[in-house]
Amino acid sequence: MASRKIIITCAVTGSADTVNKNPAVPVTPDAIAGSALEAVKAGAAIVHIHVRDTVSGQASMELEHYRRVVGLIRDSGSNAVINLTTGVGARFKPGDYDPLKPGLGTNFVAPELRIRHVVELQPEICSLDIATMNSGGVRDDTVMLNTPSHLRIMAEAIREAGVKPELELFDVGHVMLANDMIAHGHILSPAFFQLCLGIEWGVPATPAAMQYMISLLPKDATWSAFGIGREEFRVAAHCLLLGGHVRVGLEDNLYLSRGVLASSNAVLVEKAVHLIETLGESVATPDEARKILAL
């Protein structure tokens, strides 16, 4: 039996406060693009891109940063599939004295602003978080807020831009909402799902949780999954056994092995390649990924 082609997505930098935890996390547009290109050379077909404020290292929505990253990747001659995030702009923290007023850490903005860079730059894929949930540690009152009406606005603008949404699901109810949006034509089928496991306070990174989420997906769906931190490669292995694709990268995990910081995104991709080939499968090229995802 022929081996199955496995898409590796590399989540290059993310938006969490990780810059001071691992110096390999790229911050500037040039560093993000460079790290993405190294990941593609290592075997990633898709690069999932956030941008960061070049001074603070925190999450940014700066259009010119996105323009620079996308331009550098495209001008390099790489045929990588570019996947831009739309997740930044969804966080809300109630004020300490008036919960109707945003507290420190809020970055909640209109849905049109969250997809502005996607409409402008037209990547082949962008993420769409089908998720409203508590987010962060037990002492963090931040909520990731994606209302159905905001999701519909974003999904329709993404579709009109000719971009395929990667539907990011953090819990079981998010699968049901995504399925409803597909049923009502807001998202075109066949859809591409990303199962996000082990994030507080979402679905745990367990085989049982993954299998249940998979059981709820449309029959024609393509799916991938990732686990946070030490769960990254355990989840990747389960994905391969259950018929999915994999995501790795410094957005999700800062370590190559216990106590050993990953020196780059490329080394995490190389580890994923080794896992895929050890299990008898083969790594999809960017063009093979396009075919699998019907881009």
pLDDT digit string (tens) for 235-251? 999 999 999 999 999 99
Per-residue pLDDT reduced to its tens digit, 157-183: 999 999 999 999 999 999 999 999 999
Q: What is the pLDDT of residues 66-89, one digit of tens each?
A: 999 999 999 999 999 999 999 999
pLDDT at 7: 98
Gyration radius of the chain's alpha carbons: 18
Domain 5-293, what architecture?
Alpha-Beta Barrel (3.20)
Mean pLDDT of 130-156: 88
Question: Residue 137 above 70 pLDDT?
Answer: no
Do the beta carbons of residue 90 and residue 108 sit within 8 Å?
Answer: yes
Q: Looking at residue 196, what is its pLDDT? A: 97
Q: How far apart are CA 200 and CA 137, in angstroms?
A: 7
CA terminus-to-terminus distance, the chain = 26
Q: Is the peptide bond before 165 cis (omega within 30 degrees of 0)?
A: no
pLDDT per residue over 198-232, tens digit each? 998 899 999 999 999 999 999 999 999 999 999 99
- What is the percent of the chain with per-residue pLDDT over 90, rounded to a whole number? 88
**Res 50: pLDDT:** 98
Q: What is the arithmetic mean of pLDDT over 27-32? A: 98
Task: Give the pLDDT score at 170.
Answer: 96
> Which is higher by pLDDT, 39 or 200?
39
Span 110-128, pLDDT tens digits:
999 999 999 999 999 999 9
Peptide bond into 223 cis (omega under 30): no
Those residues with Cβ within 8 angstroms of residue 159's Cβ, 6 or more apart along the chain or in another chain: 165, 186, 187, 188
Q: Residue 63 and residue 53: Cα distance in Å, rounded?
A: 11
Is the pLDDT at 138 greater than 90? The verdict is no
What pLDDT is recorded for position 226? 97
At 32 the pLDDT is: 98
**What integer best gives the mean pLDDT of the chain?**
95
| CB burial of residue 122 (10 Å; 0-12, 13-18, 19+) | middle
* pLDDT at residue number 139: 67
- pTM for this entry: 0.95
